[in-house]
A and B are shown apart, each in its own frame.
Chain A
């Protein structure tokens, strides 16, 4: 089955620890994205990548880091510098080019930091 997988579904960490969220896609999409969603709020873009080995900061990149070493994978690290890391994290992917940017989402990872 083609799709986007995120793991784990739920993640609990102590304050001060870095944590890495996994995102893998087998849709052969060029672009991948990370969003954060807080209760009652919309999606906020953290980072995005349009090709391998290249990525750009989104609107709220502070305290986060990413890598894009393979087309299929776009892991997100939430560092201890992120002041309010508890949130629902969503990974998405899309085809790029010619004005078509339909994004498809993974199931999400719910991170709780105490």
Chain B
């Protein structure tokens, strides 16, 4: 089982719709969860962090965390063509006494005008 799993997509949504991106993780001891956006050829950009169960909203973005189900999601409301990118889920894991962040392989989102 991969430590952090995401559907690779592509996920296609029409402009103005809600895009829902999902991620599962294997380590129950994980404390920190992140969503990054990566445009083609560019480096990842942090868009959301979430540390406790429930929802966290920032503008059009909402991150949802369910530690019991080991599940974290990202909702993008009113999707725009500029949201078309690959979205990486990242989770901190305890590795031999050191904390490190492990990334999923990403979900490619396509917003259709």
Q: Which residues of A contact B (CB under 8 A)?
A: 33, 35, 41-43, 45, 48, 50, 56, 58, 90, 94, 96, 99-108
Contact = CB atoms under 8 A, between A and B. Distances in A.
Q: Which residue among A50, A58, A101 has the maximum number of chain B CB atoms within 10 Å of its CB? A: A101
A45 B44 CA distance: 14
Nearest to B44: A105
A58 to B, nearest CB: 7
Contact of B43 (A48, A56, A99, A108): A108
Given A42-B103, A50-B98, A101-B101, A90 B44 contact: yes
> Taking chain B's interface residues, is the majority helix, strand, or loop, or is none over half, making it mixed?
strand
B66 interface: no
Contacts of B34: 102-103
Interface residues on B, range: 20 to 34
Contacts, number: 50
Contact of B100 (A41, A42, A45, A106): A45
Contacts of A105: 43-45
Contacts of A96: 99
Given A41-B105, A45-B100, A99 B45 contact: no
B43 A106 contact: yes
A72 to B, nearest CB: 19
A42 B104 contact: yes
B20 interface: no
Contact of A43 (B44, B92, B98): B44
A7 B62 CA distance: 34
A104 B46 CA distance: 7
B32 interface: yes
Contacts of B103: 35, 42-43
Interface in B34-56: 34, 42-46, 49, 51
30 contacts: A33-B101, A35-B103, A42-B88, A42-B103, A42-B106, A45-B102, A48-B98, A50-B98, A90-B43, A90-B44, A94-B101, A99-B92, A100-B32, A100-B49, A101-B32, A101-B99, A101-B101, A102-B32, A102-B34, A102-B49, A103-B34, A103-B46, A103-B90, A103-B101, A105-B43, A105-B44, A105-B45, A107-B42, A108-B42, A108-B43
